[in-house]
Amino acid sequence: MPQAHIWTGTALPPAAMAVLEGLATVSVSRVGERNDWYAEASAADAIIVAGETFVTGEVMDRIGPRLRVVARTGIGVDRIDLDAATRRGIMVVNTPDGPTESTAEHTIALLLNLCKQVMIGDRILRTGHPFPALPELTPGLEVADAVLGLVGLGRIGSRVAAIARVLGMKVIAFDPFITPERASMPGVELVPSLAELLPRAQVVSLHCPSTPETRHIMNAGTLSLMPRGSYLINAARGALIDEAALLDALRSGHLAGAALDVYDPEPPITNHPLFTHPNTICTPHIGSYTTASVLRMRVMVCEQIASALRGERPSNLVNAAVWGHQRD
């Protein structure tokens, strides 16, 4: 039986290549995923794409009839047309367990940075202003005994909750899809609605997927429910926030600050007004970008592809309805 062929936008480490040994050959893109890579992938049985890459039905057709698997390193598949993939018999897989620790740590880093005004102080000194007297600054927030509100209590949200509890924070969470196991998580109070969570939280952190239902879940109305002087963090998906409404809340002083690792769209425009606001921290979607996380995700995505190539049902098959009529 001839080996399958895999196209990837970035080179795979030896540990990931070892998973595919004897199953497939691998080619690495010469043009990158922000350019026209479809002809390169036309001989592929499987492709490995990053989170910012769109894979529409048209893209699937341009790649061709050999394509059997679209594999995403990471969690979000909002840029992959799942219905189109299912209609064509193409399996979509991801690695939901891969980025958990690194993204949770990044969220906590943003939280402490915001509450302790690290970036604000850093900017003052870097711009050449005199060393400020303390009365000239706004006091930060001591996180011990502060209330952290989590919107979403899945893998990453749960890990953020655990770390925040170690810091002494009181954690409340809203997640309408919570499992019984998560519902009994020690030290986390579940609340029945977003409207009940927001007024109680001094810091709100978003950890839900991007869906039509969650688009702009943080908008002018919901932002107004947050206490004056509170903070918002988003290391999940940019579409969860109405960025214009967030800017208004920051400019009015209703929010003391916001920390963002994701934007809508991505990549965002150059010189986005959120980047230059004095009370924001903005990072370029690097929450899961650590050596350990990248290695873990690339090994895991190859394990998913290997399962599919062997005719096994991948454990992280996103479009489950395709199973039974997938392409051979």
Instruction: Give how far Cα 170 sits from Cα of 148, 187, 223, 246, Å.
Output: 6, 8, 20, 25
**Main-chain phi, psi angles of 220, to 5 degrees:** -55, -40
For residue 107, how far is the Cα from the chain centroid? 11
- In eight-state DSSP terms, residue 257 is E
H helices, E strands: number in the chain: 12, 12
Q: Which long-range contacts (CB under 8 A, 24 or more apart) does 257-260 make?
A: 257/114, 257/117, 257/120, 257/231, 257/232, 257/281, 258/114, 258/231, 258/232, 258/233, 258/234, 259/110, 259/111, 259/113, 259/114, 259/231, 259/232, 259/233, 259/234, 259/283, 260/233, 260/234, 260/235
SS3 38: coil
Judge whether 304 and 294 are in contact, CB under 8 Å. Answer: no
178: Cβ contacts below 8 Å, ≥ 6 apart: 153, 190
CA 131 to chain centroid = 37
Catalytic residue (one of 5, 266, 277, 327): 266
Q: Which of 72, 159, 182, 237 is catalytic?
A: 237
285 is known as an active-site residue: yes
Q: Which of 289, 249, 243, 279 shows the shortest CA–CA distance to 263?
A: 243
Active-site option among 72, 155, 182, 285: 285
Please confirm, yes or no, whether 237 is among the known catalytic residues.
yes
What residues contact residue 96 under an 8 Å CB cut-off, 6+ apart?
Answer: 75, 155, 316
* Annotated catalytic residue 216: no
Q: Is the Cα torsion angle 222, 228, 230, 231 positive or negative in sign?
A: positive
Query: Active-site positions?
Result: 237, 266, 285
